[in-house]
Amino acid sequence: MIIETIEKLLNSDLSAYYIHQKTGVTASSIQRLRSGERQLNKLTLDSTEKLY
């Protein structure tokens, strides 16, 4: 459920910068998640909580 919610956010039309502003997760981390450079299951608990 948490992963699906974060995937919806990452797949949305919201910019990485906007998500960064609202969550505190760096825009570069969001971009790497979107591009597949970084895996969702490798996020820190802190980042996961912020995106959820």
Quote the pLDDT of residue 38: 96
Confidence class for position 9, pLDDT limits 50, 70, 90? very high
Mean pLDDT, all residues of the chain? 96
Give the torsion sign (CA, 50, 52, 46, 39).
Answer: negative
Distance, CA of 20 to CA of 47 (rounded, Å): 11
The residue range of the domain holding 12 is 2-50
Q: What is the pLDDT of residues 22-34, one digit of tens each?
A: 999 999 999 999 9
Confidence class for position 43, pLDDT limits 50, 70, 90? very high
pTM of the model: 0.89
Quote the pLDDT of residue 7: 97
Distance, CA of 1 to CA of 22 (rounded, Å): 21
Quote the pLDDT of residue 42: 93
Number of independent structural domains in the chain:
1
